[in-house]
Amino acid sequence: MSATTLERTGARTGSGPAGPRAGGMHARLRRRQALVAWGFCLPFVAVFAVFMLMPIVGSFAMSFTDFTARDIASPFSVNFVWLDQFVALFTDERFLTSLAVTGVFVLVGIPVTMVVALALALALNSGRGRLVAFFRVGFYAPVVTSIVAVAVVWRYILQPDGLLNSALAVVGIDGPNWLNDPAFALPSLIMLAVWRNVGTLMVIFLAGLQAVPEDVSEAATMDGASAWRRLVSVTLPLLRPTILLGAVLISVGYLQFFEEAFVMTKGGPLDSTLSVAFYTYQQFGFGEYGLASAASYVLFLAIALLSLLQFRLLRSKD
């Protein structure tokens, strides 16, 4: 991209009739354009540097110190402790628990979300018109709602004698105490996350499906391929880039799993919904800023690695 722009500006300034002077003019023009360009970037860069880059670097630096809440007032009493915070993290059983909880959330939540979203997208892709638009809006609606607000109604639904268990009782199932049973709390939160995130992936998959050429599928039909066969051998392979993109997006979101736990279970019962992000937030609350920063960087590293891996996959198969 930048190469073509260079060529363009080069062509513009170099096309002047005066050969020997072109070099000087070229440089002067370039300097002026650079100045103007940075003028355009300045307001953004100022805020971005202070409120985005500095905290990112700050967090990195803090993860190697014993910074605590008290040090806000006296930053010079902070000590550099090398990797002590990371050692403390990986010997803290609660942090290891939070890694496991986040792992389960991601490994179960992502496939479920993707399968449901793909099924919806395939179903909706087969039709056109108002009816499809109506369904699309309906299934997408949970995405736009505030997690705090939907958490209230979900807690109400998941009460021991709430709507879900009353419905289960009708068919003779004795429902569990969803949010207060360590075995069911995390599945409940996964259910909530799936409900809130399917819409996003559905829309992305629908956009991908619309780019799949219809004639390929039709040709397969002519050759007598069954619907299932066409899905597996034609549609899904063509949709692979979109599916991978969706996987990256959703896994970056799911790895940061925090709000669901915060508003529904406060990480409990018995830490069964304590995610890494939630652990970080708790350490922040305890005033352990160094430890919190270290934990947040472990999460960052995981997200970065996963994104890189998935982008590599995306590129090699493309």
Partner 1 sequence: MSTSPLASASTRAPRPPASRAPGRRRRGLGPRALTYTVLAVGLVLWLIPFVWMILGSVKTQGEILQKPPTWWPENPTGENFAQWFGPLGIGHFFVNSLVVAVITVLGNMVFCSMVGYALAKMQFPGKRVLFTLVMITLMVPGVVTFVPLFVMVSKLGLVNTYPALILPFLTAPIGVFLMRQFIQGIPDALLEAARLDGAGEWRIFARIVMPLCGPPLATLGILTFLSSWNNFLWPLVAAQGEDMYTLPVALSLYSTGQNATNYGLLLAGSVLVIAPIILLFVFLQRWFIRGVATTGLK
Q: In the window 7-66, what residues touch partner 1 (CB under 8 A)?
A: 8-9, 12, 30, 33-34, 36-38, 40-41, 43-45, 47-48, 50-56, 58-59, 62
Tell me: does residue 145 bind partner 1 (CB under 8 A).
yes
SS3 annotation, the chain? CHHHHHHHHHHHHHCCCCHHHHHHHHHHHHHHHHHHHHHHHHHHHHHHHHHHHHHHHHHHHHCCECCCHHHHCCHHHCCECCCHHHHHHHHCHHHHHHHHHHHHHHHHHHHHHHHHHHHHHHHHHCCCCHHHHHHHHHHHHHHHCCHHHHHHHHHHHCCCCCHHHHHHHHCCCCCCCHHHCHHHHHHHHHHHHHHHHHHHHHHHHHHHHHCCCHHHHHHHHHCCCCHHHHHHHHHHHHHHHHHHHHHHHHHHHHHCCCHHHHHHCCCCCCCCCCCHHHHHHHHHHCCCHHHHHHHHHHHHHHHHHHHHHHHHHHHHHC
**44 or 76: CB nearest partner 1:** 44
Q: Which of 87, 227, 270, 309: binder of partner 1 (CB under 8 A)?
A: 227
Nearest approach, Cβ of residue 292 and partner 1 (Å): 5
Stretch of residues binding partner 1 (CB under 8 A), selected from 81-89, 101-109, 172-180, 249-257? 249-257
Q: Which of 74, 110, 228, 272: binder of partner 1 (CB under 8 A)?
A: 228
Stretch of residues binding partner 1 (CB under 8 A), selected from 88-96, 98-106, 181-189, 277-285? 277-285
Q: Which of 81, 217, 238, 244: binder of partner 1 (CB under 8 A)?
A: 217
Nearest approach, Cβ of residue 13 and partner 1 (Å): 11
What residues numbered 74-113 form the site for partner 1, per CB under 8 A? none
**88 or 150: CB nearest partner 1:** 150
